[in-house]
Every structure is written in structure tokens, then in C-alpha cells.
Structure 1
């Protein structure tokens, strides 16, 4: 469903992404692992057009989206949950969720989807009138994922969903990601510093170093790889 060919991204004179090839199939969880500054977030930003590629091709659902606007990419069901959650702090939980559906017109389905989000995240229902900026870090991450789900994604890009969360909440977030994938059939491309947890829930994985893919394959095989264990798993 997503195919990336020879992707290059520059920040001025810095060559951040150097010819990455990557794909995500329907129903998969694929994870990108690597050190800070390796190019994982830049790859996601290029896919969702928050950063313009300097070369290469990005194909989603058999359509070239390389030069497409971010709005049109969202309309096609490719949705990103950004690093750092980026909830709208002065707005309520409910308003944040409703903003996730801003491109949709199907009011009855939006109402059903809201109920579904509250089933997945009961804490959001309890806090639906509360300002998003007053939520805990874990609750804000739930809200960011819920807001993305309100856009009816076919592919969800998750950037560091466990960042800054306590270990118990990290486990809960990863269980939610697995549930979204298995029970709702939403494919996931996951960027995550917690390589151990990411590789345990993923089907396939790519290891990125200094803007290049240096290893790819079955996530469980990469989890057992001695070099990966030494570099990323402690």
C-alpha cells in the first residue's frame, strides 16, 4: 500500500535521507528503528509532506503522492501522529477529536467513531470537556492517536508514541497500537526509540543509520540479531 523508492531529503546543505527504499503492506505493522538523528522522523515527515523530498518517489494505494499537498494526502487516509503529541492545548478533548474529522462530511459515522474512540480510551470520555493542555502525557498521547483515528486512516504513521511516558503507560500504548492494527485493520508505520517494544509488535522492521537503511527483514529476526541487540537493545 505504501512504496518508497530512492527517497532523498535535504535540510539546506544537510543530506538527511540518502536513497531510502521502504514499503508497508496492508494490515502490517512496520517499524523504523535507529539512533537519534538517523532520519526516522524525517522519513515520516517526507511521507506526509510535512517536509518536501528532494528526490525519489512515494506511492500510496497505487498513486504517486510525492508532490501532493498534505491535505490531499490526509484525504486519502494517510495520517500522522507527530512526535511530541502536538495536541491543541487551549481546546477541549472533544474539540481536538472533532478536529480530527474536519475533512469528513458523514456526521452519523463521525458520531459512531467518537463512541468507538471513547471505548478504546475511556479516560478521554471522562475528560472530554477538559482542556487538552491539562492532560497527563499519557492522556495526551491517547488523544493524539484518537484524533488521528477520527480521520479514518488506512495507514497510520506513529512518531515516537512512547516518548516521555512511564513504563506502564508505554505498555498500554503499544497494546492499543496492536489493537488498532489487528482489530481495525489499520496498517501502521511506527518510528520508535524503544526498539525492543517496537520489534515485539511489528511484522517487519527497517534499521536506519545516518539516513540509510542498513538492515531490513522480519521484526523477530531483527530482534534476535546480535548487532541490533548491541546497538539498540542494550
Structure 2
């Protein structure tokens, strides 16, 4: 009934509309012209599709032959087809649920032909030398060259850079600037699928400390910024 508020306005009652839903089973039977069969199944309490999900073919045949359903030959064929359709839909739902439950996997990039740059800074003007750098460089070279078969620079024939111990700020930038072009062939096509830069040196929160670093000198107090190197490696 309607109610009246303090201002004598008629207040309409709230109506809740519930949308009717149909099951897969009902939809399948309806599509096959077996609405009368669905109504009959409702009367005997067998309209729930879960009753048929785990049935075997033999059990479906036996149900079709019962006098309770009173099915003719054509309806029996349609009913068996409807049950198989129901089974197919349930299998698809299970497959979908299984796929959605799988964790999202990141696409992996497999590196097969990387170019590796080695920079080992062991000698310093205003900081202590690092004795283990030479050994680090040997181990890195064995790892990338012998185990992974990657090309490692500098190569032994490169007298300017091979086994270099003292690296100024300019040396580091020059080395990366020149060797990055080894990623490409003469036609500027990529010949390596990754660039790996290994650096052993003193460092701080701002970057790599070069051999000529001097905190008292405004120019030489600069360190090699890692982000700056990243920006250089793409020719």
C-alpha cells in the first residue's frame, strides 16, 4: 500500500525486481523443443542439472525408457543429445576455471648471443686499490665466454683495454661508447640479443668511482652514474 509523509506527499513503495534466470539444462531442453519434458522433470524433482552431470550413458538410456517420462523415440534421441550437451558445457567450465586458477606467467626472454663488457678498476689515486679485481675479471670471462659462449670484450688482442687496471672517468665512458657499436653489424642490424656490463670497482650511492676520483676536486669528484651508462648502451 502507499504511505503519506509529513508533507502529505504520496510515497510509492519500493519495488524489488528479481530477474528470472534459467539453467543450462533448461536452455538446452528448450532449444531442442523439450519444454514439456522439463516441466515433467520439475514435477518429479529431477529438473536440477546436477542430477545428470555424473550420469553414465547407460543410466541416461534407462531413464529414457522409464514409463515416468513417457518419451517417444524422437524425444529420447533429443533428450540424450541434451544430456551430452550438458556434459560438454560442464567440461568447458572446468577447463576455464582451471586456466583462470593458473598463476600469470611472465613471458621469458631467452638470451642466446649476448655481448659482455668487462670493466675492472683496481688502481686508484685517492682511494685504496682493490686487489681482487683481476681475479673477478678472470672469473667473469670464464663464466660468460666458456660456459655461455658469449662474446666478451675487451678481447686479448685489444692492448688498450685488455687487463686495464686504471680507468679514468673518461676511459669508462669512451669504452662503453665505442664497444656498444659491436652490438650491430655494418648494416646496423643487431648481431647480439643482449648487452651485459660487468664492473668491479669502488662505488657509492651515486655510481661508480673511477681511478682519478678526487673528492677535493670539483671536476674529478664526479662518479660514473649508472643511469648515464644505461643511456649510452643503445646506439
- Give the TM-score, by structure 2 length: 0.25
Who wins on radius of gyration, i.e. which is larger?
Answer: 2
Task: Give the structure, 1 or 2, with the largest relative contact order (CA under 8 Å, sep 6 or more).
Answer: 1
Which structure has the highest strand share of the two? 1
Q: What's the TM-score, normalizing by structure 1?
A: 0.25
